[in-house]
Amino acid sequence: MVFVVYAFRERFRRKRTLIATIPTLSISFHIDATSGTARAARLTTPHGVVETPVFMPVGTVASVKGVSQDVLEDLGVQILLGNTYHLYLRPGVEQVRKLGGLNRFMAWPRAILTDSGGFQVFSLNELRKVTEEGVTFRSHLDGSSHFFSPESAMEAQIGLGADIMMAFDECTEFPADQERARESMELTLRWAARSKKYFEQHKEEVPWNSDETQALFGIVQGGMDAALRKESAERTVEIGFPGYAIGGLSVGEPRAVTREIVEATLRHLPAAKPRYLMGVGTPEEIVQYANAGVDMMDCVLPTRAARHGLLFTSEGKISIKQARFASDQGPLDANCGCRVCQRYSRAYLRHLYAANEVLAQVLNTIHNLSFYLDTMRSVRHSIALGNRAQLLSGEQSGVKP
């Protein structure tokens, strides 16, 4: 079915290419409702509409671990994240490009965003070497040496062909003193300008047979210094991108600091453009950030925690491995409408986990993703009603759309 829909879309797109010679915009962002600082909007991409605020599941190597694409569609996922660093190493950008780009390769007809690879180089490579030109790093797979520059990171992301790609940045380590944070921020700004220049010169090389191109977002850095964040935001906006991300957070700083820096940065990003907060967070945090005016978020937490038996529910986080669930015939979360909670008992889920069955990881991941997606649906519903969004709980389940 996915292939059929995809083939149809491709045919439609090719046909339109023949009749339309004027290139269309790569993305558009339309705000439908606001409530305080929060906004409910529609981000239209070459591969479909994304309703925001949105949580983007992480599909590191062109797969959301344990969950097939048809299930992701059923869960209502409208956009996935892919990691350029991982895909560059395996199966390789050229391979994905030859197979028609990420959408076609992974049989995913909806939107995709790729990161620039900068964060993975930072987090997976202790031996990386940063120069003005770029970053030399070693593969975590076989130790081989590689080099990413703003230009090569753009080339890789154009080859992968996601709807949204990210400028190449340096993720400033934590802690970093003011001088170091400024130096890193300045480097990210120079790399942002180089990323944009390369993208503008090469955006027609996208692997789709289409009149549309990808969109490149800029990334704000500046460590944990609110003044540097303001300067980084203003100067990144000056370079000019169709969307802006806040990077360099969730790198070990206290949660209160993350929140303070997010709020300090959001104030200096244009209201009419999508704002993407990279790498957060818990269900409580994604609601808080949506209320603060963030439109897009991603995090490995729901999928990674699920594989360790940690499940987010309307009654809080539970560990399914606990012996107290061994005879519990109730659903994982009585307020959750997902296919796992509708069908299986806590006792069975606990057994699967204890027996180390692959199905445990699959079902746990589906529930956690469903909880995050429901949380965001509820947030969008609250904003549309002009209310401040709150975390899903038993008492609030009645207002779920």
Cβ neighbours of 375 (radius 10 Å): 25
> Which CB, 65 or 230, lies closer to Zn ion?
65
Beta bridge mates, 298: 56
| Nearer residue to Zn ion within complex by CB, 188 or 365 | 365
| Structure tokens belonging to residue 180 | 């170091």
Q: Would you tell me the crossing angle of helices 358-384 and 283-292 to the nearest 10 degrees? A: 30
* CB 311 to Zn ion: min, Å: 8
Name the active-site residue from 163, 169, 225, 298.
Answer: 298
Total site size for Zn ion, rule CB under 5 A = 5
Q: Which is nearer to Zn ion, 158 or 341 (CB)?
A: 341
Site for Zn ion contains 75 (CB under 5 A): no
State yes or no: cis peptide before 53, omega within 30 of 0. yes
Q: Is-catalytic flag, 298?
A: yes
Establish whether 115 is a catalytic residue: yes
Residue list 358-387, contact with Zn ion (CB under 5 A): 367
Longest Cα–Cα distance of the chain, Å, equals 64
Query: Closest distance between Zn ion and the C-beta of residue 336, in Å?
Result: 3
CB atoms under 10 Å from CB of 231, counted, come to 18
Strand pairing report for 135-138 and 129-130: antiparallel
Asked if 338 touches Zn ion (CB under 5 A), the answer is yes
Does 346 help bind Zn ion (rule: CB under 5 A)? Answer: no
Give whichever of 106 and 320 is closer to Zn ion, judged by the CB atom: 320
List the one residue from 43, 262, 336, 376 that touches Zn ion (CB under 5 A).
336
Interface pick for Zn ion out of 215, 341, 362, 373 (rule CB under 5 A)? 341
3-state helix, strand, coil in the chain (%, to 5): 45, 20, 40
Q: How far is the CB of 335 from Zn ion (least distance, A)?
A: 9
Judged by CB under 5 A, does residue 392 bind Zn ion?
no
Element (H, E) at 83: none
Q: Are 379 and 371 in contact (CB under 8 A)?
A: no
**Binding site residues, Zn ion, CB under 5 A:** 336, 338, 340-341, 367
- Which residues does the annotation mark as catalytic? 115, 298
